[in-house]
A and B are shown apart, each in its own frame.
Chain A
Amino acid sequence: MEPTFYIAGGVAIVSTIVMLTRLNLVHALLHLIVSLLAVAVDFFVLGAPFAAALEAIVYAGAIMVLFLFVVMMLNIGRHAAEMERQWLTPGIWTGPVILASTLIVEVVYLARVASADLGTGATGPKEVGIALFGPYIIGVELASMLLLAGLVGAYHLGFRKTEKPEIQHDTGTHEGRADTGGDLVFAGTDQSARAT
């Protein structure tokens, strides 16, 4: 079991790293999907088949697909890639890398005590189901409410009122379709000059 775990883990990490450095959005998404699937394999090796299944179906299947939908809908294209090339200078990586590596070191140090003992038995869906409907029932209910809230919120936020002129909340300019379609990704300055 061990080597499968490490290989899958390695794939996940490599895939994530590659994902970070991609310029093209869709490419990065695809790499993320690969990473998620690798993590699913890891779950399976660890003896959590239910989690593995969920990861593959929900995470990689639903959430990533949602991402893809939005990316495709926005139709960002090549311009984004150009912008990304401008933004991702090598120097920009230093700070965050230092920060993150410090974090890794600390957490690893903290977690040193745990022994590496990969359990033998698998905790199947049955046990998870009992746990969910047993002690964690409240969590389940709360999660469902959260999902409902997310649904309603997403619905409202996604709604675009470009047709009704009387709802002129004159804070922002309803540029909508009126503006040029050329400049899709604004050259990032700190002055959000468009939004008055």
Chain B
Amino acid sequence: MFSLGLTSLLVRRNLIFVLMSLEVMLNAAGLAFVVGGSRWHQADGQVMFVFILAMAAAEVAVGLALVLQIYHRFRSLDVDALSEMRG
């Protein structure tokens, strides 16, 4: 799942897609944690998953707000258009 997310991140140029693939990657990480936690019958896996969830939520909120700003500025959602820090 993680590598799928990674591939998608590298391939897609639309900003929303990038964020979505980030979500996929986070989800995959959380999955790994939960599996680990359940394997050893500990709550820690799920605890980590809760944290990851919280973090993903915050990140999505901020990220989408940024997307709005970018769209407002650049009139485009192309990730490659945001390459002013070049060179």
Taking Cβ atoms with an 8 Å cutoff, the residues of A that contact B are 12-13, 16-17, 19-20, 25, 28-29, 32, 35-36, 39, 42-43, 46-48, 50-51, 54-55, 58-59, 62-63, 66-67, 70-71, 73-74, 76, 80, 83-84, 87-88, 92-93, 95-97, 99-101, 103-104, 107, 114, 117-119, 121, 123, 127-128, 130-132, 136, 139, 143-144, 146-147, 149-151, 153-158, 160, 172, 175-176, 179, 183-186, 188-190, 192, 194-195
Contacts and interface: CB of A to CB of B under 8 A. Distances in A.
Contacts of A47: 38
Contacts of B75: 175, 179, 183-184, 186, 194
Contact of A16 (B1, B38, B51, B81): B1
A128 B11 contact: no
Q: Specify which of B6, B37, B43, B83 lies most central, judged by the most chain A CB atoms within 10 Å of its CB.
A: B43
B68 to A, nearest CB: 6
Contacts of B21: 20
A96 B13 CA distance: 13
11 contacts: A12-B1, A16-B8, A20-B11, A35-B24, A46-B38, A71-B16, A93-B11, A118-B39, A131-B43, A154-B62, A188-B78
Given A13-B4, A51-B49, A149 B58 contact: yes
Contacts of A192: 74, 81-84
A176 B71 CA distance: 10
B22 to A, nearest CB: 11
Nearest to A62: B57
Given A12-B1, A128-B50, A139-B47, A188 B76 contact: yes
Interface string B26-69: 01001100110111111111110111011111111110111111
B44 to A, nearest CB: 6
B77 A76 contact: yes
Contacts of A93: 7, 11
B20 A19 contact: yes
Contact of A13 (B1, B46, B56): B1
